[in-house]
Amino acid sequence: KESWFPCRKDDWVILADGTRGGVVSLSHETVELVLRGGARKTYQTQDFLAQNPMNLSMNFRLKTLFGISYDLQAQSTGSILESVETFIQGRVEAEGYADDLLNLRVEFAQAGGSSLDFVVITDFKGEMAPVYNRLRRAVQRWCVDACTEHNWDIPFPQLTVHKAE
């Protein structure tokens, strides 16, 4: 219960090594996490702190990138942003996450090498931390579904080879 410690019992954290789990015990010597599926992982407290734990239990943000074809350039900074946001909001509601969604924004990110790239920003309540990866995958799926519904191509990186004559 030290104010300087980055988490409490029952909080969910992500560590620099990629481990994500719920804190089940804390002491001056060790921190034990329970991972999804029930496996447990124990860290020496100093090693745990060295992993820069990110506490998801207060609230958290997911940033999801996806790209569409340059054929849609004229709509990419206007109507497409609105369409994707509306589509994702509908999916959030349909899949029962509306009460836990704090913020949803869709923004143009960049003109990439082979696609026009967007970022979907979703902020969720900390209670959703146990399903963090499920939500991350769901937002990706919703982006693909939006592209499918609107018949937008999702390009893939391409390489052009020029042959000397």
The single-letter DSSP state of residue 53 is: P
Neighbouring-strand partners of residue 105: 121
Using DSSP, state whether 10 is helix, strand or coil.
coil
Q: Could you state, in chain order, the average pLDDT of each consecutive group of 10 residues for the chain (165 residues)? A: 84 96 95 96 96 96 96 95 98 98 98 94 98 97 97 81 81
What pLDDT was estimated at residue 165?
Answer: 81
Beta strands in the chain (DSSP E): 12-14, 20-26, 30-35, 40-44, 54-55, 59-68, 101-111, 116-125
* Cα 91–Cα 97–Cα 99 angle in degrees, nearest 5: 125
What pLDDT was estimated at residue 92?
Answer: 98
What pLDDT was estimated at residue 158?
Answer: 63
Residues 6+ apart with CB under 8 A from 133: 20, 36
What pLDDT was estimated at residue 159?
Answer: 64
Residue recorded with tokens 């349909």: 94
